[in-house]
A and B are shown apart, each in its own frame.
Chain A
Amino acid sequence: MTNTLSRLATVAAVPLVWAGTALAQVNPTAESVNEDALLRALQSGEAVGGRASIPDDGAASLISPDNKLWAAMQGDTLQTLSIVAVLGTLAILVLFYLIRGRIRIDGGFSGRKILRFNAIERFAHWMLASTFIVLALTGLNLVIGRTVVLPLLGEGAFGTLTAWGKIAHNYLAWPFMAALIMVFLLWVIHNIPSKLDLEWIKQGGGLFKKGVHPPARKFNFGQKVVFWSVIVGGAIMSFTGVMLLFPAEAGSATDWQFFQVIHALVAAAMSALILAHIYIGSVGMEGAFDAMGTGEVDENWAKEHHSLWVEDVKDTKARNDAQISPAE
């Protein structure tokens, strides 16, 4: 009973206290929020936010000033870097071609062929290569298309092209990832660094001087660099790409922006690397394309570029032949 009475007394006293404060003309904003103060208190990547009645967590964010940093990086840094990576590599390759010319087979074609890559290896390589080319071109289009392609095609055609490009990019990512795993499983055993690689580096891979051919097994150091760059770069591209495809799983908007920047930077680096790879595997070197074309390379080409591998192949063949008992 006394409890109830004292509670009643408290309730009755409240309006009196309110009346008192009202009379004192207290500044009603004494505890009010203030935009300037909230913005000043923001940590990097944070947003001014509160509560919204919309059933969407994102809607409760009011101002996220740092989104502008990401936006500035898109329109500026990434675009420049991508253009420099592609055009710079092309320029270096043209220069290399003009100075060094096509790397010929010193001994000429022997006419004898050795199987270098079997059908499964070639299938994995070309699945990876074809999807990469489409992914690289459609991705590059997202970054520099509006500057380079849009003026040529006009807004309507460019919009349609880019929309299809986006679909191709999103769906071809999956065969790319499958091929990446295949290539890793098929070739990782041949790409473990060894002492031979030091010799290859010392001789500059024989790239810069005619008639110089450092010894190599199935893959020389240059090819190992390409392999590991593709595996590591491809893994980063795959992970960040999947995060971009499933933004809800990627975390906050800041996380998504981080993945997008990594995706774009690694893509630019990989495009530069693959351009060099395409060059040396086609116009840059006589006899090189056969390895991935028919799968069979000329014996003289193989002896010059992969001397130890040729010996391995011949040894294995000799051993197999020896095991076959004569049909007497």
Chain B
Amino acid sequence: MARMKFLCDADRCIECNACVTACKNEHEVPWGINRRRVITINDGLPGERSVSMACMHCTDAPCAAVCPVDCFYTTEDAVVLHNKDTCIGCGYCSYACPFGAPQYPQTANFGTRGKMDKCTYCSGGPEADLSAAEYEKYGANRLAEGKLPLCAEMCSTKALLAGDGDIIADIYRERVVTRGYGSGAWGWRTAYGETVSV
């Protein structure tokens, strides 16, 4: 099976936030929750770069390590998903995550966060693929339909890549070699303990 990853080519990202919008629309994500967001480094300065960030679906995911109810699981495609029926909304995963992926529908005080929500790599949850229950809790399951995550699929500059880690690493490497520069595979070192070497 493929080892699914995201790779955001910051030298191509134009901070249009279309990935953020597409994600919210595709999964009907509630107000206040952002499964994906764009962060601009050196905003307004020379060398400004934008990176689109969501759950990186880490190897040995730290969220899964700290979850008191062990509600995380990794799919055959190496996508890190969680079971909202088991989640108690304790917030530990959000403190373990290096990427700020876990989101909560409510304010955080007094343990009233509600069930955690995060990027599913457009592959739903533990419910039956493409069922109504799955859609309501986790959003669309594009992987089950043979499609890749919508954020990457509709990226206008093809900055955001999704797919098998080896393949998107090759694409990125080729780009860096061709154009002569690249700011790196953001988050890869932290998520997978490796990066795309050129």
Closest partner residue, chain A, to B92 (CB atom): A74
Task: Give chain A residues whose Cβ lies under 8 Å from the Cβ of B91.
Answer: 247
* CA gap between A70 and B92 in the complex, in Å: 10
Size bin of chain A's contact surface? 35 or more
B-facing residues in A231-259 (Cβ within 8 Å): 245-248, 253, 256-257
Contact of B187 (CB < 8 Å), options: A29, A63, A66? A63
The verdict on B192 contacting chain A, using a C-beta distance below 8 Å, is: no
Chain A 8-37, CB-CB to B under 8 Å as 1, else 0, gives: 000000000000000000011101111110
The verdict on B38 contacting chain A, using a C-beta distance below 8 Å, is: yes
Closest partner residue, chain A, to B66 (CB atom): A74
Q: A62-B51, A155-B83, A166-B111 are in contact. Are A52 and B65 (CB under 8 A)?
A: no
Task: Give chain A residues whose Cβ lies under 8 Å from the Cβ of B186.
Answer: 35, 62-63
Task: Give chain B residues whose Cβ lies under 8 Å from the Cβ of A61.
Answer: 39, 100
Cross-chain contact A50 with B41 (CB below 8 angstroms): yes
Contact of B95 (CB < 8 Å), options: A70, A146, A245? A70
Q: A27-B180, A142-B90, A155-B71 are in contact. Are A50 and B42 (CB under 8 A)?
A: yes
Q: How far is the CB of A237 from chain B (nearest CB, A)?
A: 16
Cross-chain contact A150 with B39 (CB below 8 angstroms): no
Cross-chain contact B183 with A34 (CB below 8 angstroms): yes
Task: Give chain A residues whose Cβ lies under 8 Å from the Cβ of B71.
Answer: 155, 159
Closest partner residue, chain A, to B88 (CB atom): A163
Contact of A62 (CB < 8 Å), options: B43, B53, B110, B183? B53
Contact of B86 (CB < 8 Å), options: A54, A65, A159? A159
The verdict on B167 contacting chain A, using a C-beta distance below 8 Å, is: no
* CA gap between A31 and B11 in the complex, in Å: 12
Task: Give chain B residues whose Cβ lies under 8 Å from the Cβ of A74.
Answer: 65-66, 92, 96
Size bin of chain B's contact surface? 35 or more
Cross-chain contact B190 with A65 (CB below 8 angstroms): yes
The verdict on A93 contacting chain B, using a C-beta distance below 8 Å, is: no
Cross-chain contact A31 with B46 (CB below 8 angstroms): yes
Q: How far is the CB of B155 from chain A (nearest CB, A)?
A: 17
The verdict on B166 contacting chain A, using a C-beta distance below 8 Å, is: no
Closest partner residue, chain A, to B38 (CB atom): A52
The verdict on A64 contacting chain B, using a C-beta distance below 8 Å, is: yes
* CA gap between A167 and B111 in the complex, in Å: 7
Chain B 57-73, CB-CB to A under 8 Å as 1, else 0, gives: 00000110111111100
Cross-chain contact B39 with A60 (CB below 8 angstroms): yes
Closest partner residue, chain B, to A147 (CB atom): B70
* CA gap between A163 and B67 in the complex, in Å: 13
B-facing residues in A64-110 (Cβ within 8 Å): 64-68, 70-72, 74-75
Cross-chain contact B181 with A27 (CB below 8 angstroms): yes
Task: Give chain B residues whose Cβ lies under 8 Å from the Cβ of A142.
Answer: 68, 90
Q: How far is the CB of A257 from chain B (nearest CB, A)?
A: 6
The verdict on A260 contacting chain B, using a C-beta distance below 8 Å, is: yes
Contact of B109 (CB < 8 Å), options: A51, A52, A56, A246? A246
Task: Give chain B residues whose Cβ lies under 8 Å from the Cβ of A170.
Answer: 110-111
Q: A54-B37, A61-B100, A159-B87 are in contact. Are A256 and B185 (CB under 8 A)?
A: no
Cross-chain contact A36 with B41 (CB below 8 angstroms): no
Cross-chain contact B69 with A150 (CB below 8 angstroms): yes
- A-B contact sample (7 more), CB < 8 A, given A63-B190, A141-B68, A155-B83: A33-B42, A35-B184, A35-B195, A39-B190, A50-B39, A60-B39, A163-B88
Q: Residues on A close to B: CB < 8 A?
A: 27-29, 31-36, 38-39, 48-54, 56, 58-68, 70-72, 74-75, 141-143, 145-146, 150, 155-156, 158-159, 162-163, 166-167, 170, 245-248, 253, 256-257, 260
A-B contact pairs, 14 of them (CB 8 A): A33-B42, A33-B48, A35-B184, A39-B189, A48-B41, A59-B37, A59-B100, A61-B39, A62-B99, A65-B98, A159-B71, A159-B85, A166-B88, A245-B110
